[in-house]
Structure 1
Amino acid sequence: MFNAINKFPLAAIPFFILAGNIMETGGISRRLVEFAKSLVGGVQGGLPMTCVLTCMIFAAVSGSSVATTFAIGTILIPALIKHGYPTTWAAALQATSAELGVIIPPSIPMILYGVSAEVSIGELFIAGFGPGILIGLALMAFVWVYCRIKGWGKNDGDGRLGVGKATWQAGWALLMPVIILGGIYGGVFTPTEASAVAVFYALVVGLLIYREIKLADLAIILRKSVLSSAVIMFIIANAGLFAFLITRAGVPDAIGHWLEDVLKTPAYFLLGVNAALFLIGMFIETSAAIIVLAPILAPVAMHFGIDPVHFGLIMVVNLALGMITPPFGVNLFAACTVARISLDRMIKDLIPFVLVILACLMVITYVPGLSLGLRDLVYAR
């Protein structure tokens, strides 16, 4: 169990969680919302599109979907309800949009996959941009069409700031993903070191520039971050023990040989794995599923000639669906908490969003260039 968590890249997890909580308290997330609203809020359905775009930007520094749900949802779910959107639909939109928090880098599940499958975390991060942007654009297109059909959001542009003013006010917040991602791909620091830089930058901006964090708030932020980090580390430790036991029992090899015998081609293999991961993600927490399954499935994928980075993106996107599907979707519970509704009330509104993500998953699965094109360009492959 100790060996499972005694890995340097895993140190990024508590730091990214802490950075997300600091951003939520320090006014950074609110300024990102105003910036996104200035860009897309002027059209019919602009407020739901603002939700998606803000989650895309916030994802570039948080690495966590739950942190994204609370940081953005506490601002936008009440705003959506105020503008006449159904509470259940607003919660479903926020839960789905927050899934981008683990797809657009930096991403905690990508770190876990990289450690478990021994794949470059930097390559996973850069490969995540294509799928993340695809899903974000697909969600914005869907809500734009859906709102026009329903007649919602005709006054969403009321009270929005101009692009110039919103950009100026959010300047320090927008600089954060530039520093983090630019530092990683510029070779200034590793993804793990970037997580510490994210905390430092968010703290400086929240305390000294925006001045919305008081010293008394730090204890609350730290407590929340420690609890979230402890839960994830406990899952990793126990999943590591489980992985050790099944490896000693020869289960991964048996599963690998069975998959090779039954699923003869890469296309069938990917289809079968996607179906299995979708079901598994409904009942097993994403982090635990990745730690247990990545060492089993990644070698089989490589046997079929599938790039391990591409396969990692497929796993992350698919298992992230488990965060917005009953009965154990953590994003659903987070969004329901913010919206103050029960889970069963939002299931009907959630179905179209899940179908959009599934359609994007099929594109990501069978168009590897979407994930690997930028990776190959940056790493000159």
Structure 2
Amino acid sequence: MNQATDDIVLEGLGEEGGARPTSWYMRPVEIIASALLVVIIGVLLLGVTSRYVFSLPVVWIDEVASISFLWLAMLGAALAIDRNEHLKLTLFVSRMGERKRAFFETFGSCITGTFAGAMIYPAVDYMIEESFVTSPALNIPNSWRVSAIAVGLVLMFLLMARHLVVNALRRDVVISVLILVALGVAGWLLMPVFKGLGYGNILIFLVIVVAACLFMGVPIAFCFGMGTLCFLLFSTSVPTLVMIGRMDEGMSGIILLSVPIFVLLGCVLDATGMGKAIVDFLASMLGHVRAGMSYVLLGSLFLVSGISGSKVSDMATVAPALFPEMKRRGYKPKELIALLATGAAMADTVPPSIVLIVLGSVAGVSIAGLFNAGFGIAMVLLIALALLARWKATVEDLKGVQRLSFAAIGRTALVATPALILPFIIRGAVGGGVATATEVSTIAVLYAMIIGMVMYGGIKPAKLYSMLAETAAMSGAILMILGTALAMAWALTQTGFARDLATFMAGLPGGWLTFMAFSIVVFLILGCVLEGLPAIVLMAPLMFPIAKNLGINDVHYSMVVVTAMNVGLMTPPIGIGFYIACKIGNVSPDEAMGAIWPYLIALLVGLAVIAVVPQLSTWVL
């Protein structure tokens, strides 16, 4: 891998390298989106207070939150376009020469703009149809809510058009448009052929088209969207209006309200230093023992993940606090990256994992059950990584390292305690059925803001606004993926493919163990290419019914596929998470690639144990 690989733009979910400030002409949208996030948190807190304190449920809370949420999702998705924060795979484009890279970036932008523009008319049609539906509590037309989809698509189309006019070479734009027009005409002429291909259309449109877009650096949400749009237009008689309905469904699940709030919680964690307080406490307790700093790194990822719900936030919090001391003790940078990346993969089942929340929403699995099981599963992986870290720590230099006094440990514990108890509050409240994930997320944000103000110096107003804007864009990018991925999953199921796949899997020798091994391979591969959320939304509607028919517990299966997916995410040379870890640790991927394999093998051993021993996932249910 050359220097171009080191400069991979890892847009999305807050990665460094690709994001840019909001343009001046999008500032009004940024202000509105930030205000909507505040409204959502405010009305949800009002609902929690009225229900639990005054026993007076407010019936219009969910409707206000739902309307605000869809507008936040679509305006946030437009902001993510402007800020270059949509998740995309740029591994292949970045390895091209400068001229080819510029052309494919332009071609990818044309694809993104084409999808947004093509969906505007169906979105307006959908808005008109929904105007005849009246909301039960507020008694207003549902078009007030779904008009957000049309507005967001118009903004995204205009932003892509402006980007092409201002930043791209005119020749590249003309060639790209001509290619897309030619492909569209060819698809239209071949419609009779496509309609007779059956499952062949899945390969052409939902695999090849999506993969081609992905390799050209098109944002993942638009890869799914373009593949599904072509599938519906050229091989079926289904109106594209239906696709807008499925996108609406994918972005509007009430449980998904907790996603932007947990994203904001991760920002609060970074801004207040609560995560660093946890790291300092663990270091004061374990830093003097052999492999102690490795234990601190893994334990910090485990606990910090329980607050932020974001792998990127976890790694960005832990690495700067621990890497300098670990390097002083003789750890090589490549070993640190390997431990950081696999530790982040281990921690993704720790509540409040956004992946678990999304999985519970799309697959109909109990969020409480997932949160209860997630701690135990993460512990299995933590033990596997800790054992390997201890074995590899024989070269550690402990010269001059002393055990801290109980008084010093006590001081760090006092500072860290408010942060330490937060993940247990979240897990206990949701897992115990005291409150929903959405309610707990709002309480957690309020708690973190108050504690941050009292104990950790607070957050300046300018920083708070920046966090709100960042959360809006990040949430929009996530929710746009969920919307288009659910539309694609719906298209797959409507072909009968899911039914035939279930029949095929049921007939394989070996029963549920064979299916489990197949699932692990599938999610390992998808985790490498797609990242967690789109892989989950795309495959859950297909795989979970099969698992249930084979007698596999939903929570057990969830733990297996989430773990497999996260191992794939950190697996080079494609795994996006691996490159994020390299960026955060400022280490060349070339250097770190060889060191990560023993840690990945340790995770795979832990995954095999989790897969064949269902009781590890189900004993808490």
The list of structure 1 runs, each at least 4 consecutive aligned residues, that deviate by more than 6 angstroms after superposition, is none
Aligned to 2:29: none
* Contact 2:341-2:577 at 8 Å conserved across structures: yes
1:152 equivalent to 2:396? Answer yes
Structure 2 gaps, min length 5: 1-246
C-alpha distance in 2, partners of 1:248/1:285? 25
Q: What does residue 222 of structure 1 align with?
A: 468
* Structure 2 counterpart of 1:378: none
Q: Which residue of 2 aligns with 1:52?
A: 298
- C-alpha displacement of 1:101: 3.4
- Contact 1:134/1:360 (8 A) holds in 2: yes
- Assess if the C-alpha contact under 8 Å between 1:68 and 1:101 holds in 2: no
Asked whether the 8 Å contact 1:28–1:173 carries over to 2, the reply is: yes
What SS does the corresponding residue of 1:302 show, helix, strand or coil?
helix
Kept after mapping to 2: 8 A contact 1:73/1:335: no
Deviates more, 1:2-11 or 1:248-257: 248-257
Q: For 1:242, give the aligned amino acid.
A: M
- Name the CA distance, whole Å, in 1 between partners of 2:552 and 2:299: 31
1:76-122, Cα deviation, whole Å (9 max, x unpaired): 23332343321121122111111233211221111122112111111
Question: 1:211-257, CA deviations, whole angstroms, 9 ceiling, x for partnerless residues?
Answer: 15322221232233223222211211110111121121122112111
Question: Is 1:92–1:350's contact at 8 Å kept on the other side of the alignment?
Answer: yes
What's the offset of the Cα at 1:132?
A: 0.7
| Contact 2:367–2:430 (CA under 8 A) maintained in structure 1 | no
Quick check: 1:104 aligned with 2:350?
Answer: yes
User: Are the aligned partners of 2:329 and 2:397 in contact in 1 as well (CA < 8 Å)?
Assistant: yes
8 Å Cα contact 2:351-2:423 kept in structure 1: no
Q: In terms of mean alpha carbon deviation, does 308-317 or 82-91 score higher?
A: 82-91
Tell me, yes or no, if structure 1 residue 279 matches structure 2 residue 494: no
Cα 1:16–1:371 shift into 2, 3 Å: same
> Does the Cα contact within 8 Å between 1:9 and 1:192 map onto a contact in 2?
yes
Within-5 A mapping of 1:96-135: 96-135=342-381
Normalising by structure 2, we get a TM-score of 0.58
Give the residue type in structure 2 aligned to 1:169.
V
Instruction: Show the counterpart of 1:142.
Output: 388
Which residue, 301, 306, 313 being the options, matches 2:552? 306
Task: Summarize the alignment of residues 349-364 of structure 1 with structure 2, pairs less than 5 Å apart.
Answer: 349-364=595-610
Residue 367 of structure 1 aligns with an amino acid whose one-letter code is V
CA distance in 1, matches of 2:591, 2:442: 39
Residue by residue over 1:108-140, the C-alpha shift from the partner in whole angstroms, topping out at 9 and shown as x without a partner, is 111122112111111111011211111112212
CA gap 1:246/1:128 in 2 versus in 1, 3 angstroms: same
After superposing the two structures, state which structure 1 stretch, 30-39 or 352-361, moved more.
30-39
Give the CA deviation at 1:328: 4.0
- Counterpart in the other structure of 1:379: none
Q: What root-mean-square deviation, in Å, do the aligned CA atoms of Structure 1 and Structure 2 show?
A: 1.8
Residue 565 (structure 2) pairs with residue 334 (structure 1): no
CA contact (8 A) 1:32 1:173 kept: yes
Q: For residues 327-364 of structure 1, what are the alpha-carbon distances to aligned partners after superposition, in whole Å with 9 as ceiling and x for unaligned?
A: 44333222212222222221111101100100000000
Q: Distance in 2 between matches of 1:281 and 1:102?
A: 13
Unmatched segments (≥5 aa) in structure 1: 376-381
- The residue number in structure 2 matching 1:346 is 592
Matched residue, 1:374: 620
Q: Deviations over 1:269-312 (max 9, x none)?
A: 21222122222221122111111111111111111111111101
Deviates more, 1:71-80 or 1:25-34: 71-80
- Bigger relative contact order, structure 1 or 2, given CA contacts below 8 A and separation 6+? 1
* Greater Cα offset, 92-101 or 326-335: 326-335
Question: Partner of 1:189: helix, strand, or coil?
Answer: coil
Per the alignment, residue 174 of structure 1 pairs with: 420
